[in-house]
Amino acid sequence: MFRILFYTPEIPGNTGNAIRLAAVTGAELHLVEPLGFDLDDAKLRRAGLDYHDLAVLTVHPDLETALGALQPDRLFAYTAEGTVNYSDIQYRPGDVLLFGPESVGLPADVKDHPAVTSRVRLPMLPSRRSLNLANSASIVVYEAWRQQGFKGAQLTSERQV
């Protein structure tokens, strides 16, 4: 499926929500150190609920190690300076979706990394700085999964909605 890569995340609740996102969509979650929290943080655990054991989570000491392990054919960097709209990409299983730390986003050297296929943006109203990290990842993962016909999903019936 898809692989979410958080570069030096800072807020445990966002990563906890991403753990839950990975568990319910079949995506993998990869984190690049340094992390702004301990993986045993109560806020991370609370946000991830009981999904921690259902998610594929890997922590990498640095970006180069992560990219070496992931070997991405395509690496999309999500940034306010993106030149491509997230919904204009034809996602493929195995794509790596790269997001930066909450306070500053992806640094220039990461956005300009030779492995980056495209800088991608999520539309926002003018004069708004950013969208929550976990929400951004959710929007992108669900668009990518939608394009794959929600492969592997159990679709709800009308009675459950």
- For the beta carbon of residue 93, count every other beta carbon within 10 angstroms: 12
In degrees, rounded to 5, the angle at the alpha carbon of residue 116 between the alpha carbons of residues 25 and 48 is 30
Rounded Cα gap, residues 149 and 93, in angstroms = 12
Residue 91: closest CA among 154, 155, 139, 54: 139
Helices (H), the chain: 12-25, 42-48, 63-70, 108-111, 133-147
Residue 7: closest CA among 110, 93, 76: 110
Which CATH number does the domain housing residue 25 bear?
Answer: 3.40.1280.10
Give percent above pLDDT 90 in the chain. 79
92 confidence band (pLDDT: 50, 70, 90): very high
Report how many domains make up the chain: 1
Q: For residue 58, what are the contacts with CB-CB under 8 A and spacing of at least 6?
A: 28, 29, 30, 31, 69
pTM, 2 dp: 0.92
Instruction: Give yes or no for a contact between 89 and 97, defined as CB atoms under 8 angstroms apart.
Output: no
- Mean pLDDT across 97-120: 97
Rounded Cα gap, residues 39 and 16, in angstroms = 9
Domain region containing 59: 3-160
- For the beta carbon of residue 129, count every other beta carbon within 10 angstroms: 7
Q: Return mean pLDDT, the chain.
A: 92
52 confidence band (pLDDT: 50, 70, 90): confident
